[in-house]
Amino acid sequence: MSAESAVGHTTTPSQTVFAAAERFFDDAAAILNLNLNQIAIVKKPRRSVIVQMPVFMDDGRIQLFEGFRVLHNKARGPGKGGIRFHPDVTLDEVQALAFWMTFKCAVVGIPMGGAKGGVVCDPSKLSNRELENLTRRYVAELYDVLGPDVDIPAPDVGTNPQVMGWVLDTYLMHSRKHQPGIVTGKSIELEGSEGRLGATGRGVEYCVRRFYKHVGKDLRGQTVAVQGFGNVGSFSALFLHQDGCRIAAISDVTGAYVSDSADIDPHLAMEHVRKRRSLDGFERVAKVRKLANPREILELDVEVLVPAALENQILADNVRKVRARLIAEGANGPTNYEADKNLAERGIPVIPDILCNAGGVTVSYLEWVQNRMGLYWSEARVNADLEEIMNRAFDSVWLCAQERKISLRLAAYVVAIQRVVIASELRGLYH
């Protein structure tokens, strides 16, 4: 088992990732007085597909991989959600991730439903050719349930624009039509969108900025710790740094790297990861000390903590040690139900995942719109649209939280569930 898989998933069978996600939903459904039918219709995943995929490996062997694609809800539009390549992926986890996508799209008000995919594999142990073979097999197996008007994949943990290029090519070779909107998060050369690569981190930045505006405090000079230094973590650190924040610590699966003077340069760290594929050895190129246990980053005395790795990081056993004044959830599901209650009791605000990391799916939606028009926008235009959408979503969640005297997480679910229920009822039972 890799170190990454050892730390990522700590749920027990009695508390699966999906069951844990449902608890937040149930609290919001109670506030909305939803009846049991309304709850059942919008809570459960509509379609879960499991595929077994034989793939030729470089040494001539054939290896069988398991893959999933879940369509959670399509009342507000076609399914939308990334593909995760990770050794610990399970159907339950993919169902939870698809569930979060439904409410994420709803909270930012984009016309899409929720979906997600996963393949049980360790991409760091596969050659490029094996990764390509596996990706193509996955798309070929799921061809019937994917489509630009049906279910549109994107990157997630372990996948990137290159993998999206193989998804695009495989789908187009089967459909024999030019349909670039089948997948988002593509390279610019393959009709991807300007701004998509850093979009989730931008969304995190916009949410943190908006939070500070609402509480009337200056963001400049605030200290930040970022857990996970992949796509979401690295760009969150970069953009917050550009806003004048001081990056006190970053981490990945190799450890946590702490600067006592809070002046980590995200560019330097990104360059290191580009060369070394991880932060390993960063203590030799920057003035940082390394913490052997990467989880300790969650306990540092900083203003803003951005968990941007995997789910189930802030739990009942470590939540009391969290000292940050604001938590901005870059990852999906980093805080479990009990820990969330504890943070609320202690008055530590959490910008919840379904709002905070929605920048990625928002620019994916803008990419899909551009693909359908065949007309491409500048990065400035994309970022301006993203900022407007994120600010509007943040404000509606903030207002709901103030009016109902509830946490931002509950408010985000209240806003989102309401929208899905209304769409579902307007369409009628047939969908």
Which residues contact ligand NAD (rule: CB under 6 A)? 4, 7-8, 155-158, 200, 227-233, 251-253, 294, 308-310, 330-332, 357, 360
Sequence-distant (6+) residues with CB within 8 A of 142 are: 49, 51, 67, 69, 117
CA dist., res. 227 & res. 253, Å (int) = 9
CB of 23 to ligand NAD, least distance (A): 18
In the complex, minimum distance from the CB of residue 59 to ligand NAD, in angstroms, rounded to a whole number: 26
Smallest gap, in angstroms, from Cβ of residue 271 to ligand NAD?
15
Main-chain dihedrals φ then ψ at residue 267, nearest 5 degrees: -60, -45
CB of 26 to ligand NAD, least distance (A): 22
Q: Which two tokens mark 122?
A: 């360790």
Write down the catalytic residue from 74, 104, 116, 186.
Answer: 116
- Please give the structure tokens belonging to residue 342: 């504890």
Are 89 and 68 contacting, i.e. CB atoms less than 8 angstroms apart? yes
Angle among Cα 29, 34, 39 to the nearest 5 degrees reads 75
Task: Kindly state the smallest distance separating residue 234's Cβ from ligand NAD, in Å.
Answer: 8
What is the Cα gyration radius of the chain?
Answer: 20
> Closest Cα partner for 120 from 89, 77, 95, 93?
89
In the residue annotation, 116 being an active-site residue is answered as yes
- The residues near 280 (Cβ < 8 Å, ≥ 6 apart) are 254, 255
| Tokens 């990104």 found at | 270
For tokens 């379609």, name the residue.
47
Residue nearer to ligand NAD on the CB measure, 228 or 352: 228
Closer CB to ligand NAD, 77 or 334, in the complex: 334
Question: What burial class does residue 16 get, using C-beta atoms within 10 Å of its C-beta: 0-12 exposed, 13-18 middle, 19+ buried?
Answer: middle
| Beta carbon of residue 108, minimum distance to ligand NAD (angstroms, whole number) | 12
Tell which residue, 287, 232, 284, has the closest CA to residue 254: 284
- Tell me the closest approach of the beta carbon of residue 227 to ligand NAD, in angstroms: 5
Taking the complex as a whole, the smallest distance from the CB of residue 177 to ligand NAD amounts, in Å, to: 27
Q: Which position's Cβ is nearest ligand NAD?
A: 230
Could you give the residue numbers annotated as active site?
Answer: 116
